[in-house]
């Protein structure tokens, strides 16, 4: 997490640094800071809280300087306060850092024994002091290089130097870092998104690489400090998402964009003329895949879990799913007939990127399902299937989840057709049904006023449960994740059939229990599980797609979503749960787009 920006220019940089930091806040928002070089001094300003607080400070006391760095923080070492905010500066050097220095305690001890004093509780300050020490003997690039050799862990760094006032040095190990180019101005940034308002010409540092940039020049070096050339990418012009329009916040906008997100994604992948899925560029033979392993974190993991049900239902391929932070440390049996699919909105999630790296090292076939096509995960995988959702700004993932589900479903259909696991008539029918999805999403979104009423009932709750069976179980997990993430209310997602093996003990009078009950092969069983909860006092919110009224009068709320097809029910049933989490959080006055303690892009493990 954490966002880095650096600008070397021929004009003052502080305003552009602040503007970029605002864009980077999705990576961390517990404190912010800036350092510029002016009048032969490092001019550092920082604060706890949001970038707008930093902006106020700069408004009162502006920072001059045509070279500078900025940072938004998601705390790892040390509480989020002004002292621990980045940059961390000595008299000679100022550093912004994304990542974790694992041997910082050891390095701190060594530096303290040499008389250095630390101001903060962060791991980053060791970098500042090591570079400061090396600068007594070496030029900046060599000083940074020697410092990097001492560091264990992951980092993206931006460093400026009091006595070399025209340069910024960047370095990357593990955490992403990009360089942007413009006329008389060059940039360093955590990602292309932060730089997009200034340039669309971007290079990406690979692991172990360094760069040194000034307003007119950028040089890159490999991990042996040998000069290298880097490819310049022209990044796509995404729709302007920094504008919420009439929406109260980004999450709300993103929930309501889902019908057009689905339409766009379907148009990208479905060839309406040929009535076929236009995925042709398989870098492997689909008939020779024995097993698919789907890997992701958080919401992206939930889309893997839904996809497992689809692959099992529609293909003859064996499927496994894994949480990236678990996968990367397991003792794994690799097989050349496996296909590893990495699912990630940002494409920068550290655990997912590390899991991908392990597969690459073992020469496995890799595919990524990502939103950000210029991301690390996309660039490092053999094959990329973009979800075409457009930038997602709200920390809680909504339209990207929908996009991930759609692409995984489409891939599953295509593989099953190539492998002849599905009858042609069923394949055609599934494609036709899929085309009706955007309209069904629109209809589902119309249930908002009912959901607002439901949300009132969660205000006094001490906790909540989300239940589903089969393909609705991952949606129960996703509904619970959304609610806890946004409203800070404890929520547990459970397979309804597991309740009597323990969690039923949690049910008490009035506990809200959301039951996800599409009319599929589990429906009657889910209904029985619902009765067991009612019998123990649970307050039931029953979400279904059947038209018939239910006999039980003890259901507090019944919400109906449109019926399309059992396979697509996870997509439609997710929408009321997103809206529920949103409205509970709104009633509780929570920060919807930036929930406490979180960040949009989780670039530390
Ligand atoms: O960018 P990614 O899709 O890799 O992110 C994975 C998770 O961090 C993310 O889905 C997280 O769980 C969301 N905040 C949930 O809404």
Least confident of 287-291, 381-385, 548-552: 548-552
Going by C-alpha positions, the residue among 366, 357, 307, 379 that lies closest to residue 336 is 366
Give the residue, by CA position, lying nearest to ligand 1 atom 12.
298
Q: What is the pLDDT of residue 567?
A: 96
Q: Is 395 in the pocket of ligand 1 (CB under 6 A)?
A: yes
Structure tokens of 97? 């850092």
Q: Is 602 in the pocket of ligand 1 (CB under 6 A)?
A: yes
Rounded CA separation 110/90 (Å): 17
Rounded CA separation 231/498 (Å): 52
DSSP state of 87: P
DSSP 3-state of 555: strand
Q: Strands, DSSP E only, in 241-372?
A: 270-271, 276-277, 291-296, 318-323, 338-344, 365-370
Q: Is the pLDDT of residue 515 over 70?
A: yes
Q: What is the pLDDT of residue 399?
A: 98
Q: What is the pLDDT of residue 280?
A: 82
Q: What is the set of active-site residues?
A: 2, 600
Q: Is 349 in the pocket of ligand 1 (CB under 6 A)?
A: yes
Q: What is the pLDDT of residue 383?
A: 94
397 CA closest ligand 1 atom index: 16
Least confident of 283-287, 316-320, 513-517: 283-287
601 CA closest ligand 1 atom index: 1
Is 538 in contact with 557 (CB distance < 8 Å)?
no
Give the residue, by CA position, lying nearest to ligand 1 atom 14.
396
With cut-offs at 50, 70 and 90, classify the pLDDT of residue 240. very low
Q: What is the pLDDT of residue 510?
A: 93
Residues ≥6 apart with Cβ < 8 Å to 74:
1, 2, 27, 28, 29, 30, 599, 604
Which of 176, 250, 254, 297 for a ligand 1 pocket mutation test, highest count of atoms within 8 Å of Cβ? 297
Q: Is the pLDDT of residue 239 over 50?
A: no
* Residue 425 C-beta-side C-alpha neighbours within 13 Å: 0
Rounded CA separation 293/377 (Å): 16
Q: What is the pLDDT of residue 273?
A: 77
Q: What percent of the chain has pLDDT over 90?
A: 85
Q: What is the pLDDT of residue 148?
A: 97
Give the residue, by CA position, lying nearest to ligand 1 atom 11.
298
Q: Alpha carbon of 404 to those of 53, 72, 128, 485: distances in Å?
A: 35, 28, 40, 20
How many angstroms is it from 602 CA to the middle of ligand 1? 8
Q: What is the pLDDT of residue 550?
A: 67
Residues ≥6 apart with Cβ < 8 Å to 581:
396, 479, 482, 483, 485, 486, 487
Q: What is the pLDDT of residue 552?
A: 63
Q: Tens digit of pLDDT for each residue in 440-487?
A: 999 999 999 999 999 999 999 999 999 999 999 999 999 999 999 999
Number of H helices, E strands in the chain: 19, 27
pTM for the full model?
A: 0.84
396 CA closest ligand 1 atom index: 16
Q: Domains, the chain, ranges and CATH? A: 2-234 (3.60.20.10), 242-435 (3.40.50.10490), 445-605 (3.40.50.10490)
If you average pLDDT over residues 116-121, what whole number do you get?
Answer: 94
Please, what is the average pLDDT of the chain?
94
Q: What is the pLDDT of residue 154?
A: 86
Residues ≥6 apart with Cβ < 8 Å to 57:
45, 47
297 CA closest ligand 1 atom index: 6
If you average pLDDT over residues 182-202, what whole number do you get?
Answer: 91
Q: Tens digit of pLDDT for each residue in 256-272?
A: 999 999 999 999 999 88
């Amino acid at each position: 997490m954490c966002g880095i920006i650096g600008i070397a220019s021929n004009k003052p940089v502080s305003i552009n640094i602040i503007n970029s930091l605002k864009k980077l806040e999705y990576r961390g928002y517990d404190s912010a800071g800036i350092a510029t070089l002016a009048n032969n001094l490092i001019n550092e300003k920082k604060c706890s809280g949001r970038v707008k607080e930093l902006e106020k400070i700069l408004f009162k006391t502006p920072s001059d300087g045509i070279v500078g760095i900025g940072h938004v923080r998601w705390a790892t070492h040390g509480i989020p306060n002004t002292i621990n905010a980045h940059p961390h500066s000595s008299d000679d050097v100022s550093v912004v850092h994304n990542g974790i220095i694992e041997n910082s305690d050891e390095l701190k001890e060594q530096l303290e024994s040499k008389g250095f004093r630390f101001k903060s509780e962060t791991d980053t300050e060791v970098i500042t002091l090591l570079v400061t020490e090396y600068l007594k003997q070496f030029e900046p690039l060599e000083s940074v290089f020697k410092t990097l050799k001492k560091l264990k862990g992951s980092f993206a760094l931006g460093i400026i130097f009091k006595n070399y006032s025209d340069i910024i040095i960047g370095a990357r190990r593990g955490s992403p870092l990009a360089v942007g180019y413009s006329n008389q101005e060059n940039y360093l940034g955590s990602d292309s998104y932060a730089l997009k308002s200034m340039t669309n010409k971007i290079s990406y540092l690979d692991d172990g690489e360094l760069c040194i940039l000034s307003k007119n020049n950028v040089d890159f070096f490999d991990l042996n400090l040998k000069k290298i050339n880097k490819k310049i990418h022209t990044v796509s012009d995404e729709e302007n998402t920094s504008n919420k329009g009439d929406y109260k916040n980004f999450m709300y906008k993103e929930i309501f964009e889902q019908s057009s997100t689905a339409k766009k994604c379907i148009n990208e992948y479905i060839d309406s003329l040929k009535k076929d899925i236009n995925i042709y560029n398989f870098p492997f033979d689909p008939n020779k895949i024995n097993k698919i392993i789907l890997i992701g974190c958080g919401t992206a993991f939930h889309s893997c879990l839904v996809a497992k049900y689809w692959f099992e239902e529609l293909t003859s391929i064996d499927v496994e799913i894994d949480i990236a932070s678990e996968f990367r440390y397991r003792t794994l049996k690799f097989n050349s007939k496996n296909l590893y699919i990495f699912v990630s909105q940002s494409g920068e999630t550290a655990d997912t990127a590390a899991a991908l790296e392990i597969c690459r090292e073992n020469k496995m076939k890799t595919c990524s399902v990502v939103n950000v096509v210029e991301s690390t995960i996309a660039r490092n995988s053999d094959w990329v299937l973009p979800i075409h959702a457009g930038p997602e700004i709200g920390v809680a993932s909504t339209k990207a989840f929908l996009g991930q589900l759609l692409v995984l479903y489409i891939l599953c259909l295509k593989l099953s057709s190539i492998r002849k696991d599905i009858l042609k008539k069923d394949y055609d029918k599934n494609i036709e049904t899929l085309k009706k999805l955007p309209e069904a999403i629109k209809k589902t979104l119309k249930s908002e006023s009912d959901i607002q009423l439901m949300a009132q009932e969660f205000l006094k709750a001490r906790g909540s449960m989300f239940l589903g069976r089969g393909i609705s179980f991952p949606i129960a997990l996703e509904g619970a994740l959304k609610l806890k993430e946004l409203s800070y209310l404890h929520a547990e997602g459970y397979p309804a059939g597991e309740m009597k093996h323990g969690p039923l003990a949690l049910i008490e009078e009035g506990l809200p229990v959301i039951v996800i009950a599409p009319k599929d092969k589990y429906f009657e069983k889910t209904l029985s599980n619902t009765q067991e909860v009612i019998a123990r006092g649970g307050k039931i919110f029953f979400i279904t797609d059947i038209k018939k009224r239910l006999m039980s009068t003890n259901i507090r709320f019944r919400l109906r979503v449109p019926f399309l097809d059992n396979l697509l029910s996870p997509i439609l049933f997710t929408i009321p749960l997103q809206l529920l989490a949103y409205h509970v959080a709104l009633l509780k006055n929570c920060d919807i787009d930036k929930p406490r303690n979180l960040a949009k892009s989780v670039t530390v493990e």
